[in-house]
Structure 1
Amino acid sequence: MSDPVIIQLVSTAGLIVVAILGNRKLNRIGADAKASRQQTENEHAEAEYPNLRDELTATRGEVKGMARHLAHLARWMRDLATADTDLEAAADRAARKAARDLARAVEERDEKLAELREEIPRVIRSELAQHVEDCPLRNPPGV
């Protein structure tokens, strides 16, 4: 065999090896591409979102809406907590005022009862003395 034939055979063998290796690599890339497509492709052509990008965009919008709603709920909960604290403080103030008013009313009642304890025996003695003085049996008319 001549040198040009040997060179041609070696070149051809090299090209065959490169083609075989390249074909294997292309097959693996094709399989990976197919797997990627299956993972990102929506199986239902009639679905609301026919591809993953549209679905992610819609989902992102929904999540942002939920985040705004949660922020609103958090503010509402803080406002409720503040209102609850304010109501508790108002109830405490009202209870303290009611206790002071009740204590004052009890004190005034006790003072009036003390006055009555002194006044009633005096009135009874005075009325009894007047009755005795005016009694017709004790002082018959005409005598």
Structure 2
Amino acid sequence: EPDGEFKQAINVRGSVHKIAIDDVQKALLIGTQDTLKVFDMEEYTCVQTNEGHTDVIRDVLFIPERSQYITVSLDHTMRIWNAWSPEPFRKKVADIDPKIKFSEDLWEQIRNCVKNSIEVEDANSIVDKYFQKQYEQKHLSIHDDHPRAQQVSFSNP
């Protein structure tokens, strides 16, 4: 195909605020007003809809090491979603130690995602304090109120 030729339109039924690509599952992640929609890039069909935010999604991040998507919203929350997979049943080939730390590059991506998406005084210190297993801080709460997501709420102490 020549460069610039139209290939496919995707109707997301709302404003697109952020996009990312899951290059493992070949999926397009689209952050709309308050929903993360996942589209199969071969069929161009919506294969997963993740609802839960109450305001605009400002950033989307794919974490291939954990098969998760992260969304950050103007509702001052960050949600962690299980990634879509076209193969719902997979053979277990290895156990992963939950104490394994993320790489510094991944931490930098998460820091930038938080910094560019919600208004906080020091996004780096938030990530450093709260994502490195120091959940005892007063103003971080994790909610398992959605079957496919965890919500992390930030508030001033």
Q: TM-score, normalised by structure 1?
A: 0.14
Bigger RCO (CA 8 Å, 6+ sep) = 2
Structure index of larger Rg: 1
Q: TM-score, normalised by structure 2?
A: 0.14
Greater helix fraction, Structure 1 or Structure 2: 1
